[in-house]
Chain A
Amino acid sequence: MTAPVELAAVSRWYGNVVAVNEISFELRAGVTGLLGPNGAGKSTLLHLIAGFLAPSAGTVTVDGHPAFGDPEVYRRIGLVPEREAVYPFLTGREFVEANARLQGVADPVGATARAIEQVDLSDVQDRRVGTYSKGMRQRAKVAAALVHDPSILLLDEPFNGMDPRQRLHTMELLRSLGENGRTILFSSHILEEVERVAGRILVIVAGRLAASGDFRSIRRLMTDRPHTFTLRSSNDRGLASALLDEPAVSGVTLDDGVLVVRAADFGTFSRAVSGRARRAGISLYELLPTDESLESVFSYLVRG
């Protein structure tokens, strides 16, 4: 059975810059999170699937049809772009209704009311979009993407600018749409957002697909990667010697009086380090992870 969205060895480059590099995956019903640092190529990937960009190599298909150059694919796709721009002179309701009419929805007024209700925008639907906060604009964009009840929903950083309540509401909406059989792909550079909504995850770094699959297994991969710590103690040299005996430690260096420990297993090392120090009669003053940024996590996944 054909997957709703299929990418086969897709690359996209701009001159000498490779934005997306030989990416292949399939999307099926449910919520998939597209996770990656800024500049990783998430938007380019979403725009390739949305038919706004032609792949430089490989194929992108939506329900078996090429995504680029066929406006009919938009009957099945709802798109929430990252750019904030929305017609400022239209009210929220007019904006969503215009989208419904352009989609050829049988009952545009009814569909508009339902979509606005879904994103909890009823109170301000008759205000001009130009007067909306960023979060309201995001919700108006989500309503416009949902108004024709698409089977595929593509959202580029949809939670940007939303307050915590709106964020939870929209997350719940996406989860329920995914459970009801919609194929949903949303991008984010925030791990916690993806964790809360997506059952499946695609990690993209520097245009490459670094990891894909079930969220829990990717999360474990991220947690279980080698970690580097700097330590400060009453006897750094003695602690270095004691830690070399610890199986979870894969390397110890003592440069310029700074003790740096490389641990193969985050959990085991965290549990063992204080015991090792105590048994050696050393006081541990400080234990700092040095590579906890999301970028370093992504870099590890790429190398892996």
Chain B
Amino acid sequence: MNLVIARITLRQLLSRRRTLLLLLLGGIVLVVAFVRRISGDTSGGTSDTRFTADLLSTLGIATLMPLVALIFGTGAMGAELEEGTAVYILAKPVSRLSVAFTKLSVAIVCSILLTSVPILLAGLLSGGPDGPALAVGFAVAAAVGSAVYCAIFMALSLVTGRAFVFGLAYVLVWESFLAGLFAGTRTLSVREQTLAFAAALAKPPADVFKADLPLGTAVVVAVVVAALALAITVRRMARIEIAGEVT
């Protein structure tokens, strides 16, 4: 972990306009939970818990988490390569492995802060007898999911200059559309894996929330995918080339 690179990456990721949009998106999750709380539409029963589970799974895990990780994961290294500032980090006696590890760590921490914190707070606000357990379970699962997403998106940003577009296509087409149509495609969905972690951690009643993917499958696939993404990152970083302007 290189602290200078970490500080620059942190400021770089947080100074973008997109980050404000992400804060806004996290705010929406909180606002929905808050409105539910003050609307008086809380009986304190299973319906509250079901609402909380729906809110955290759809707005939190399915929407907020992939978008945040997409922006931070592709932005940490990919944006620097695209803009040309990567030269100042790569032309230094710092190992490429250290650069990649630092940038990925910062992307993961930022993603967790902008995903797990709103999910935790929204879960606590939203209510229901299992609300706190759901809040903690979904927040921790979102942290793990964010890490897997960031690893994938960072690897993608080192493979293609259009990582954001491909990443968005994965989230919107594969995870939102195909995973709903074909059970097999859910196995390779980070969202489904994260929901499986959330169900295992929060242990909600089956009529409140149930994950589609078995926990064992989710763990194995998530570990394999993350390891593969890291391997690609390390390999690409070692061979990365910067051509500069053609002059």
What residues make up the interface of A, taking CB atoms closer than 8 Å to B? Answer: 14, 19, 38-40, 42-44, 46-47, 50-54, 69, 71-72, 74-75, 77, 79, 81-87, 89-90, 95, 98-99, 101-104, 144, 156-157, 187, 189
| A83 contacts across to B, CB distance below 8 A | 84, 87, 244-245
| B238 contacts across to A, CB distance below 8 A | 69
Report the minimum CB–CB distance from A81 to chain B (whole Å): 5
Are B85 and A87 in contact (CB-based, < 8 A)?
A: yes
Among A38, A46, A75, point to the contact of B93 (Cβ < 8 A): A75
| B87 contacts across to A, CB distance below 8 A | 52, 79, 81, 83
What is the chain A residue whose CB lies nearest that of B82? A85
Are A103 and B92 in contact (CB-based, < 8 A)?
A: yes
Segment from B5-13, B64-72, B226-234 that makes contact with A: B5-13
Are A53 and B84 in contact (CB-based, < 8 A)?
A: no
Among B4, B244, B245, B246, point to the contact of A102 (Cβ < 8 A): B4
Within the assembled complex, what's the spacing in Å between the Cα atoms of A144 and B87? 12
| 11 contacts across the A-B interface (CB closer than 8 A) | A38-B247, A43-B244, A43-B245, A46-B244, A50-B91, A53-B242, A71-B93, A86-B85, A89-B11, A104-B93, A187-B247
Interface centre among B5, B8, B11 (most CB of A within 10 A): B8
| B89 contacts across to A, CB distance below 8 A | 102
Within the assembled complex, what's the spacing in Å between the Cα atoms of A121 and B94? 27
| A51 contacts across to B, CB distance below 8 A | 91
Are A85 and B8 in contact (CB-based, < 8 A)?
A: no
| B245 contacts across to A, CB distance below 8 A | 43, 82-83, 156
Report the minimum CB–CB distance from B117 to chain A (whole Å): 23
| B15 contacts across to A, CB distance below 8 A | 89
| A187 contacts across to B, CB distance below 8 A | 247
Are A44 and B244 in contact (CB-based, < 8 A)?
A: yes
Interface residues of B in 175-230 (CB under 8 A from A): none
A-contact bits for B69-103, CB 8 A (1 contact / 0 none): 00000000000000111011111111110000000
Closest 9 CB pairs of A and B: A83-B84, A85-B84, A52-B242, A102-B92, A43-B244, A89-B15, A101-B4, A43-B247, A85-B83
